[in-house]
């Protein structure tokens, strides 16, 4: 299968072609199914990003690395970060409900305490992921 056929499979051929070229992806990269899946994930993520060129600049830049592997890991950190951020927002909404209604019932107090613990854990995970992302951006 030619690289042009693979580009067509990635959706918007102009967009995909542009970033496949920028990343130096070749036909051989598509020969490995696992690597082809990573490329698809990267292109899909770049499509959704508000500034894909800046994302490439701040992550890969001129580093001499395997760009597909590097970006795949970098994007996974961002997806993990986004997931924990959403979870933190949900926890904060639940906590604010308890804060506004007051805690009368001992069961509610237990739930509130568990939410506070979960919030601390999620914040720690977000901080760890942010540190990992910063390493990739150096």
Residues 6+ apart with CB under 8 A from 77: 129, 132, 133, 136
Query: Structural domain tally of the chain?
Result: 2
Q: Are 39 and 29 in contact (CB under 8 A)?
A: yes
Q: Is the pLDDT of residue 18 over 60?
A: yes
pLDDT tier, 43 (very low <50, low <70, confident <90, very high otherwise): very high
The answer as to whether 78 is a domain residue is yes
Same domain, 137 and 107: yes
Instruction: Determine the pLDDT at residue 5.
Output: 59
Same domain, 81 and 32: no
- The domain of 130 spans 62-138
Same domain, 72 and 29: no
Instruction: Determine the pLDDT at residue 97.
Output: 83
Q: Is the pLDDT of residue 88 over 90?
A: yes
pLDDT tier, 6 (very low <50, low <70, confident <90, very high otherwise): low
Q: Residue 85 and residue 132: Cα distance in Å, rounded? A: 15
The answer as to whether 56 is a domain residue is no
Q: Is the pLDDT of residue 2 over 80?
A: no
Same domain, 24 and 70: no
> What global pTM score does this model have?
0.78
Q: How far is CA 6 from CA 14, 22, 38, 83, in A?
A: 12, 16, 13, 29
């Amino acid at each position: 299968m030619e690289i042009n056929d693979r580009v067509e499979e990635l959706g918007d051929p102009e967009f995909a072609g542009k970033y496949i070229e920028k990343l130096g992806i070749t036909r051989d990269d598509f020969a490995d199914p696992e690597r082809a899946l990573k490329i698809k994930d990267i292109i899909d993520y770049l499509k959704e990003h508000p500034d894909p060129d800046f994302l490439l600049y701040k992550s890969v830049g001129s580093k001499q690395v395997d760009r597909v592997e590097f970006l795949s890991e970098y994007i996974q950190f961002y997806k993990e970060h986004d997931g924990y951020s959403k979870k933190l927002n949900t926890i904060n909404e639940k906590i604010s409900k308890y804060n506004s209604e007051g805690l009368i019932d001992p069961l509610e107090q237990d739930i509130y305490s568990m939410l506070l613990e979960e919030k601390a854990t999620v914040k720690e995970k977000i901080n760890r992921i942010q540190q990992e992302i910063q390493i990739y951006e150096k």
